[in-house]
Homo-oligomer: A and B are copies of this chain.
Amino acid sequence: MLCAVFCRNMLKNVSREALKSASESQLQTLCADIREEILHTVSRNGGHLASNLGAVEITVALHRAFDFPRDKIVFDVGHQCYAHKLLSGRAERFDTLRKSGGLSGFPKRAESEYDCYGTGHAGTAISAALGIAKARDLKGEDYSVVAFVGDGSFQNGLIYEALNSLEILRSNILVLLNDNGMSISPTVGGMHELLSEMEREQEEERRDNKDIALFERFGLQYAGICNGNDLSDCLNSLARARELLKKGSVLLHVRTRKGQGYAFSENAPDRTHGVSPDGARPREEYSKALGEELCKMAQKDKRIVAVTAAMTDSLGLRPFFDQFPERAFDVGICEEHACVLSAALAAEGMKPYYAIYSTFLQRAFDEIMHDVCGQNLPVTFCIDRAGITGADGETHQGIFDLSYLSLIPNLVIAIPSSIAEFREMLHLSAKSDVPFAIRYPREGRGNILETHKIGTENSIEIGKWHIMHSNTSDIIVIVAGERALSIAQNVRKRVNKSGKDFTIVNARFLKPLDEKMLTKLGQKYIVTIEDNLLAGGLGDAVARFYRNSAKEIYSFGYRDCFIPQGGVDELMNEYGIDEEKIAELIEELYARG
- By a beta-carbon cutoff of 8 Å, the part of chain A in contact with chain B is 74, 109, 116-118, 120-121, 123-124, 127-132, 134-136, 138-139, 155-169, 188-191, 193-194, 197, 210-211, 213-214, 217-219, 302, 305, 326-327, 329-332, 334, 336-337, 340-345, 347-350, 362-363, 365-367, 369-371, 373-375, 394-395, 400, 403-404, 406-407, 409-410, 533-536, 540-541, 543-544, 547-548, 552-555, 560-562
Contact = CB atoms under 8 A, between A and B. Distances in A.
B138 A163 contact: no
Contacts of A164: 155, 189-191, 331-332, 334
A395 B332 CA distance: 27
Prevailing SS type, chain A contact patch: helix
27 contacts: A116-B347, A121-B366, A128-B341, A130-B341, A131-B345, A134-B341, A135-B347, A135-B348, A138-B327, A157-B157, A157-B159, A159-B160, A161-B332, A163-B190, A164-B190, A164-B191, A165-B334, A167-B193, A169-B329, A194-B218, A214-B217, A362-B366, A369-B400, A370-B394, A374-B395, A534-B544, A535-B536
A207 to B, nearest CB: 13
A342 B135 CA distance: 10
A302 B544 CA distance: 46
Contacts of A406: 535-536
Contacts of A165: 188-190, 329, 331-332, 334, 337, 341
A160 to B, nearest CB: 4
Contact of A118 (B218, B336, B375): B375
B161 A190 contact: no
Given A189-B167, A343-B128, A345-B134, A552 B548 contact: yes
Contacts of A373: 562
A370 B129 contact: no
A72 B163 CA distance: 32
Contacts of A369: 362, 400
A369 B218 CA distance: 29
Residue from the set A127, A156, A191 with the largest chain B CB neighbour count within 10 Å: A127
Contact of A367 (B124, B400, B552): B124
A119 to B, nearest CB: 8
A347 B117 contact: yes
Given A168-B189, A334-B161, A135 B407 contact: no
The 6 A-B residue pairs whose C-beta atoms are closest, nearest first, are A157-B157, A131-B344, A135-B348, A161-B337, A160-B160, A190-B218
